[in-house]
Amino acid sequence: MKILSRFWWILPIIFIAIYPFTLGGNSPYKSGVLIFVGIYIILAVSLDLLIGYCGQISIGHAAFFAVGAYTSGILTAKYGVHPMFAMLIGMLISTALAWATGRPVLALKEYYLAMATLAFNEIVITLIIGLEGFTGGASGLGDIPPFKIFGFSLVNHIHYYYFVWIIVFFIIAGSLAVVKSSFGRTLIAIHSDEPAARHFGIDSPRYKTRLFMLSSAFASIAGSLYAHYMGFIAPDDFGVISSVNIMVMLYLGGIGTIYGPILGATFMKILPEITYQFQDYELLINGIILIIVLVFMPKGIYGIILKAINRVLRKV
């Protein structure tokens, strides 16, 4: 039992590692489902750093997802840039944008912050739609080549699956390390009482902006991974509705826990795979399931699981 509670995380890693050959049955569709899960885990975890740990509500996370996807898409499809460099340039642009907007926007609180980030998301999307010559406009951008690494093209879905999940694990581990570092503790202090934190000499605008840059860089990576997997991107995938969906994943899973958003993202991406058979009823059923989870699990899925584990441990 002690070993299990210390090394439980090996189990999901084993599952992810053997999935394509067991449950996934070598089918591109089934590994695709988990590729999406991985990409959304990156988005959810990076947003959790911002909302869950630092208390900065953002309804604009998909904007950085879009910046990553479009930078990768445009540079690789139109200018033949190496995907690796394109991804790095996307991260640079995202962090630069976050740095430029961070100070004024993050000075806002709660709803005002939510509205400002929502506006930022819409600005990015309307620019993408408006600059057709460059981005393909509303009809989307196609012909994005598959990812390449060290001259090895990841055309095969299983290769890309492992590539995505390796990055996912690095980002989860990185986020956990950030949260446990002194930087993370500073963020939590800002979350619980910003004026008090400032009295202790914490330059909170600076910390918030840095966190915003980090979280945007992660979202940008997710965007690049998405663009190379899909081969085609359209502005609809990155609108306010997507940002809202990522936020739902956080609260559904349990905010401020890193593990919660992972569960939330998995749940939200697997759910449509199960309910799509209800066709027109899908949307209603998804809504009702969400409502039920929110009413009966105020601490999210992670909270319930934690509670169950504790109960089992006490009995043992």
User: Is residue 110 part of the contact set for other proteins (CB under 8 A)?
Assistant: yes
Residue 298 CB, shortest distance to other proteins, in Å, is 5
Is 188 or 240 the residue whose CB approaches other proteins more closely? 240
| Interface residue with other proteins, options 107, 188, 202, 271 (CB under 8 A) | 107
| Long-range contacts of residues 179-183, Cβ cutoff 8 Å, at least 24 apart | 179/49, 179/53, 179/258, 183/207, 183/210
* C-alpha span between 186 and 66 (Å, rounded): 29
Q: Is 178 in the site for other proteins (CB under 8 A)?
A: no
In the complex with other proteins, the residue whose CB is nearer, 202 or 285, is 285
In this structure, what are the phi and psi dihedrals at residue 149, rounded to the nearest 5 degrees?
A: -140, 125
Examine residue 84 and tell whether it contacts other proteins (CB under 8 A): no
Least separation, in Å, of the C-beta of 93 and other proteins? 18
Q: Which of 43, 45, 51, 234 binds other proteins (CB under 8 A)?
A: 51
**Residue closer to other proteins, measured from CB, 114 or 227:** 114
Q: Choose the stretch contacting other proteins; rule: CB under 8 A; options: 1-9, 19-27, 100-108, 140-148.
A: 100-108
The reply on whether position 194 binds other proteins by CB under 8 A is no
Q: b/e map of 236-270 (b: 16 or more CB within 10 Å)?
A: ebbbbebbebbbbbbbbbbbbbbbbbbbbbbbbbe
Alpha helices in 238-281 (DSSP H): 240-253, 259-275
Binder to other proteins among 295, 314, 315, 316 (CB under 8 A)? Answer: 295
**Range 116-121, long-range pairs (CB < 8 A, 24+ positions):** 116/60, 117/57, 117/58, 117/59, 117/60, 117/61, 117/63, 117/243, 118/59, 118/60, 118/240, 118/243, 119/60, 120/60, 120/63, 121/59, 121/60, 121/61, 121/62, 121/63, 121/238, 121/239, 121/240, 121/243
Instruction: Name the residue among 255, 229, 98 with its Cα closest to residue 161.
Output: 229
Instruction: Tell me the closest approach of the beta carbon of residue 122 to other proteins, in angstroms.
Output: 4
Asked if 43 touches other proteins (CB under 8 A), the answer is no
Positions in 229-288 near other proteins (CB under 8 A): 240-241, 244, 247-248, 250-252, 255, 280-288
Residue 290 is a binding residue for other proteins (CB under 8 A):
yes
Q: How far is the CB of 240 from other proteins (least distance, A)?
A: 6
At 145 the three-state DSSP class reads coil
Q: How far apart are CA 183 and CA 187, in angstroms?
A: 6
- Contact flags string 116-155 toward other proteins, x per CB under 8 A: x-xxx-xx--xx-xx-------------------------
- Residues of this chain that interact with other proteins (CB under 8 A) are 51, 57, 104-105, 107-108, 110-112, 114-116, 118-120, 122-123, 126-127, 129-130, 240-241, 244, 247-248, 250-252, 255, 280-288, 290-291, 294-295, 298
